[in-house]
Amino acid sequence: MRMLMLGAALVMMTSAAMTHSALAENDDTKGAQKLAMQGRDDYWHCLAREYARDSNQGLSEQDFSRSVAGACPSERQYYRVALLDYLTSQYPNIDSAAHLATANRAVESAQKDIVTAYVKHRPPQQ
């Protein structure tokens, strides 16, 4: 009888520990997702400020693209790292190089989108 109670207690403790662990992992993933989204938003806001700078008005597409590529270095790096952390926590069995490539593509996509918006909304050259 004593062994049965001890066994039941161990099962309950193990179950509680596993549940806590699963919740902690879920919280870690949610936290990483929140940081990645915040990093994305910060980077986009910085790119929007770059878009609106008076000194960039009238640049060619190529010159504006170069300007954007060099703009917002800390925001860009934070976004890349936060997204990499999120992808690693969400998909731990995928190679980290694949996650890094995905994060880099996300940064490149943001830059491409801001350049596209710039080209579509700039006044025609005379």
Give the DSSP H/E element, type plus range, for residue 1: none
Please state, rounded to an integer, the average pLDDT across all residues of the chain.
Answer: 82
Q: How far apart are CA 13 and CA 43, in angstroms?
A: 44
pLDDT-derived band at 79 (thresholds 50, 70, 90) equals very high
Please report the sign of the dihedral spanned by the C-alpha atoms of residue 100, residue 103, residue 109, residue 114.
negative
pLDDT-derived band at 56 (thresholds 50, 70, 90) equals confident
Provide the pLDDT for residue 123: 59
The single residue listed with the structure tokens 């693209």 is 65
Residue 33: is its pLDDT beyond 50?
yes
pLDDT-derived band at 9 (thresholds 50, 70, 90) equals very low
Provide the pLDDT for residue 124: 54
Task: Select from 114, 95, 96, 93 the least CA-distant residue to 40.
Answer: 114
Cβ contact 109:44 at 8 Å: no
Provide the pLDDT for residue 16: 46
